[in-house]
Amino acid sequence: MAKDPNLPLLYSDDGDGFIVIAHRGASAYYPENTMPAFEGAVAMNAEMIELDVLMSKDGVPVVFHDLSLDNHTDGNGYVPEYTLSELKKLDSGSWFSKNYAGQQIPTLEEVLQFAAGKIALNIEIKTEAVSDIIDGGVEQKSLELVKQYGMEEHVLFSSFDYRVIKHLKKLDPTIPVALLYNKHQSKNQLPHQQVREFSADAFNCSFRQFSKKWARDLREHGIPHFIYTVNSKRKMKKLIKSGVTGIFTNKPDVLHQVKDRF
């Protein structure tokens, strides 16, 4: 039976209808998209973790944001040029602090194993991992892993590439998917029109794009909406007041403090 609205079930829902999302984990305090960042998010009572997925050369979904390895590892070149075992040799923690030297790029499977039974996930599929082919594509592989770890009711997929929504809904119409606003694919439509066109379950966008008009449109149509990436208390307050469903932040502890004062 479909949930209403079709959003992931939270493990630590405090019942206020607002969702604290740790963006790339608690990434203000730990190297982004690494296990310490995800553990930190759980320790800070985030209700969901957002992570980014790319594919290795040998077709394994890995958790990493940039296509290039240059800024956040000791390697260089692009993620899809390396096999998983080559990527695993890289250090993805030292760029942040020597305390995290030797951290490895996690696979999606490793993060699912960690999150299962503990915390909901927003799995953002990066455009560079997407193709027109559904069979064996990043969406199918990621969905299979999600199901393998019994997380299908605890994940929200999203992507700037709207093909991901189409592919996932074809593979499993019940899996929650958010449309991650991309102005090149949106045809100047209002958020509710875009969400409807793709049979998406939620709308995600940057605080820079989020206008009063969009807030009204989303509220009027009862569409859950999540805004990224907000680290200032002032902006958090403003968005919570406007009734957003959730906020992506690198500082889940700060968002909790702000939210608790409402």
The position carrying tokens 């991309």 is 182
Interface map 236-255 toward ligand G3P (x if CB under 6 A): ------------x-------
Interface map 12-41 toward ligand G3P (x if CB under 6 A): -----------x------------------
Strand partners for 159:
179
Q: Which does 82 bind (CB under 5 to 8 A by kind): Mg ion, ligand G3P, none?
A: none
Closest distance of CB 160 from ligand G3P, Å: 7
CB-CB contact of 139 with 59 (8 Å): no
Residue from 19, 49, 125, 180 that binds ligand G3P (CB under 6 A)?
Answer: 180
The position carrying tokens 């064996």 is 136
Interface map 108-147 toward ligand G3P (x if CB under 6 A): ----------------x-----------------------
Q: Has 154 been annotated as catalytic?
A: no
Closest distance of CB 220 from ligand G3P, Å: 23
Q: Which does 228 bind (CB under 5 to 8 A by kind): ligand G3P, Mg ion, none?
A: ligand G3P
User: Mind giving me the DSSP string for 175-240?
Assistant: S-EEEE--TTTSTT--HHHHHHHTT-SEEEEETTT--HHHHHHHHHTT--EEEE----HHHHHHHH
3-class SS at 22? strand
Residue from 50, 139, 201, 253 that binds ligand G3P (CB under 6 A)?
Answer: 50
3-class SS at 84? helix
> Strands 120-125 and 155-159: what pairing?
parallel
Q: Where are the alpha helices (DSSP H) in the chain?
A: 35-43, 84-87, 108-115, 138-148, 163-171, 191-197, 212-220, 233-242, 252-260
Measured between alpha carbons, how far is 111 from 121 in angstroms, rounded to an integer?
A: 9
The position carrying tokens 């030297």 is 101
Q: Has 23 been annotated as catalytic?
A: yes
Residue from 107, 204, 249, 250 that binds ligand G3P (CB under 6 A)?
Answer: 204
Residue from 52, 109, 161, 201 that binds Mg ion (CB under 5 A)?
Answer: 52
Our finding on whether 158 is near ligand G3P (CB under 6 A) is yes
Closest-approach residue to ligand G3P (CB): 228
Q: Which residues are catalytic?
A: 23, 65
Residues making contact with Mg ion (CB under 5 A): 52, 124
Residues making contact with ligand G3P (CB under 6 A): 23, 50, 52, 65, 124, 158, 180, 204, 228-229, 248
